[in-house]
Amino acid sequence: MANMLNEHRLVRALLRKPVDRTPIWIMRQAGRYLPEYRVIRSKVKDFLKLCKTPELACQITLQPLERFPLDAAIIFSDILTIPDAFGLELAFLEGEGPYFQRPICTLEDVEKLPTIDPEIELRYVMDAIRMTKRALKDRVPLIGFAGSPWTIATYMVEGKISKNFTKIKKLMVSEPMILHRLLTHLSTTIVSYLKAQVMAGAEVLMIFDTWGGVLSCADYLDFSLSYMQEIVANLNFELERENAAFAVPSSGGGQVIKKVPIILFTKNVGQNLEALSETGCDAVGIDWTLPLDKARSLVGHKVALQGNLDPAVLYADPDFIQRSVQLVLRQFGKGSGHVFNLGHGIYPDVEPEKVAIMIEAVQSFSTRYTYE
Amino acid sequence: MANMLNEHRLVRALLRKPVDRTPIWIMRQAGRYLPEYRVIRSKVKDFLKLCKTPELACQITLQPLERFPLDAAIIFSDILTIPDAFGLELAFLEGEGPYFQRPICTLEDVEKLPTIDPEIELRYVMDAIRMTKRALKDRVPLIGFAGSPWTIATYMVEGKISKNFTKIKKLMVSEPMILHRLLTHLSTTIVSYLKAQVMAGAEVLMIFDTWGGVLSCADYLDFSLSYMQEIVANLNFELERENAAFAVPSSGGGQVIKKVPIILFTKNVGQNLEALSETGCDAVGIDWTLPLDKARSLVGHKVALQGNLDPAVLYADPDFIQRSVQLVLRQFGKGSGHVFNLGHGIYPDVEPEKVAIMIEAVQSFSTRYTYE
């Protein structure tokens, strides 16, 4: 079964193998723009409770799949589950986003952070993945994810969404060693968290570095990219070891090699795209500010590219959406290694009908690019 | 006198002429990080009233000059004076930023926008400039400024600071002609506004395109850059015409050529830097996410560069600040055409002592780069 899924066009495209057409999934595809999601949300007001209830997380994960012929499911969760599991007490204030009652301020705060076992403190995520995996019946691959160490750290230090990232940048320039300790602890945790997601059934992994783009190039390399690179290396090592331990000589003499592609995404990656593509990851997510032809010329054959339609295009009429989809496909050009997506999460006030138009356009127009 | 100021190192650097050392000024240098500003602000709570009272705007403009050996004054004002003059009723809500009671929604709203005469509706800005110019006694050049059409339009359409720019992007993809009309009207207004600022005494002009970086490359060219290009061309034409009309054959037979350098700044300019440098402007502001060596290799000899220390560096200790200043100077390298600045506005909680350290570092370290 695992072998069969290796052949799904999403995994194939992420590994830059030939595909029949360009696969598509949508960042935040399970979410507020779907009326069926809003029905659940109207009953369970607490966003975090949705994440923490595997039955609901599973149900929400599957909602967009029931409506659209998407090429992936992505587990419904949040990048802040890890600091919540650390005991920082995550809350979501109405209209204000995430909020930590106990942000990280001192070296002592960092040293007190516990080592967590994903199958204990974050078991709800693993249960949701297991449940979803069963329900999916291998229709499409399931994507697991985490925030990048830098991005998670911004919330842990700032306490909430920040405009200038004052607190964490103060820490960065005045007490860099405290920040490095925090980022190291996060990296270790993220490796075990993502590995546990794979063990539970995730077939593709993505790391969201939402705030790496607020750093200078030098700081990005030091405080964000280097940790993602370490995570990718350690994850690949851990997963291969797991694989080897699992492999038993079968009658055919072969062994199950289940390569888990890893996608890295830094919003506003700017000048750092080349460095990001050299981390050992399989694919890089591109936001809509960088055309894919330019991106491809920068990364060469090192990685697949995921993206990058401007989410605002889904406000337009069908004709405009179709032309915009065609432009993204044309900008990537011929050959394998493209996963269609928006350049960032879908906006909550998009009409689902527009999503259908986008998906249909990708399906019908992309075959001319994937056949060489 | 005008001729003498042409020789100030700021103007010289912006025109890529040799200078004795790298000039420095600071975006938002007159503002909240200064205790003397907070004294005024505590008496006059209404930010807009400060802008609209020439005596106060002048006093605030001069405050940083009294404290630091800066190479420019920039008139204390706001990029939203224009829509306020259109009658959109600008207000500043405590902790929430600017807010328009009557945002732009329809074609009718755009058509109803009045044509304004900067010397009437925005006379308070011109009076503040005249007053400041007199008080400066040509010590340093005075910078006038405006927002870019796209950036001003985002506030006019969204009504306030926006996360996803939903409203203006909806307009952009569904009714682009309405948006183009708005941008055209803004461009015309900005040309007359900036010209009036020069007539009142501004010797350098800067256009702030704070939100151009949220657009895809194609949309940036269409909806932001093309209008800035038009403004630069029209301004240069208008100012040259003004100059010619003003020129009278003197005993020496020469004529006063007062070139007003124009600086364009798009935050997160990303892939669009080259295009921005080809608009006919004299200098481009660079935020801290793009190292100046990279920027310089992209723009060649077309423009001067202004920037680009990460404002967060001013949270660090003196030694770190000095090393960071040196790095920026080294990244720009040898030769003229560098104006030192932060990569964005100074943060309100920076200690003024740190600013002094930065300025001193620029003054002492930059001579080795400006002497070739």
Residues of B in contact with A164 (CB under 8 A): 311-312, 347
Give catalytic status of residue A16 as yes or no: no
Using CA atoms of A160, A165, A167, A170 in order, give the dihedral in degrees to the nearest 10.
170
DSSP assignment of A165-222 equals -HHHHHHHHH-HHHHHHHHHHHHHHHHHHHHHHHHHT--EEEEEETTGGGS-HHHHII
Whether the Cβ atoms of residue A114 and residue A102 lie closer than 8 Å to each other: no
pLDDT tens digits for B151-198? 999 999 999 888 889 999 999 999 999 999 999 999 999 999 999 999
Whether the Cβ atoms of residue B317 and residue A174 lie closer than 8 Å to each other: yes
Instruction: Show the tokens assigned to A199.
Output: 């063990």
Global pTM?
A: 0.93
Residues of A in contact with B170 (CB under 8 A): 312, 315
Residue B128 CB: number of other CB atoms within 10 A?
Answer: 28
Tokens 């981390």, residue located = A279
Rounded to the nearest angstrom, the minimum Cα separation between A270 and chain B is 6
Domains in chain A: boundaries: 2-246+255-370
* Ramachandran bin of B44, using left for φ above 0, alpha for ψ from -120 to 50, beta for the remaining angles: beta
Q: Please, what is the average pLDDT of chain A?
A: 93
Residues β-bridged to residue B338: B305
Task: State which CATH number among 3.30.300.30, 3.20.20.210, 3.30.390.10, 3.30.565.10 fits the domain covering B2-370.
Answer: 3.20.20.210
The residue in chain B having the minimum alpha-carbon distance to the alpha carbon of residue A344 is B164
- Please report which residue ranges of B148-225 form alpha helices under DSSP H: 149-158, 166-174, 176-200, 217-220
Give catalytic status of residue A220 as yes or no: no
Q: Phi/psi of residue B137, each to 5°?
A: 50, 40
Give catalytic status of residue A155 as yes or no: yes
Nearest to A315 among B173, B216, B289 (CB): B173
Residues β-bridged to residue B142: B73
Task: State which CATH number among 3.40.50.300, 3.40.640.10, 3.20.20.210, 3.90.1150.10 fits the domain covering A2-246+255-370.
Answer: 3.20.20.210
pLDDT tens digits for A254-303? 455 578 999 999 999 988 999 999 999 999 999 999 999 999 999 998 99
As a whole number of angstroms, the distance between CA B296 and CA B293 comes to: 5
Mapping DSSP to helix (H, G, I), strand (E, B) and coil, where does residue B328 land?
Answer: helix
**How many helices (H) and strands (E) would you count in chain A?**
18, 9
Query: What value does the mean pLDDT take over residues B323-342?
Result: 96
Nearest to A310 among B216, B312, B320 (CB): B216
Instruction: State whether A312 and B165 contact (CB < 8 Å).
Output: yes
As a whole number of angstroms, the distance between CA B113 and CA B100 comes to: 14
Quick one: which H or E segment has residue A32?
none
Give catalytic status of residue A32 as yes or no: yes
Whether the Cβ atoms of residue A106 and residue A168 lie closer than 8 Å to each other: no
Query: What value does the mean pLDDT take over residues A172-201?
Result: 97
Q: In which band, very low, low, confident or very high, does the pLDDT at B242 lie, cut at 50, 70 and 90?
A: confident
**ipTM of the complex in this document:** 0.91
Query: What value does the mean pLDDT take over residues B37-59?
Result: 96
Amino acid letter, residue B274: E
Chain A interface disruption, residue of B269, B289, B344, B347, most A CBs within 10 A: B289
Beta strand spans in B247-352 (E): 262-266, 283-285, 304-309, 338-342
Quick one: which H or E segment has residue A235?
helix A226-246
Q: Phi/psi of residue A114, each to 5°?
A: -75, 160
pLDDT at residue B70 is higher than 50: yes
**Lowest-confidence region among A114-118, B48-52, B231-235, B242-246:** B242-246
As a whole number of angstroms, the distance between CA B256 and CA B259 comes to: 9
Residue A118 CB: number of other CB atoms within 10 A?
Answer: 23
Sorted by sequence, the CB contacts under 8 Å of residue B90 that are 6+ apart come out as B48, B80, B81, B83, B84, B98, B99, B100
Q: In which band, very low, low, confident or very high, does the pLDDT at A251 lie, cut at 50, 70 and 90?
A: very low
As a whole number of angstroms, the distance between CA B169 and CA B176 comes to: 9
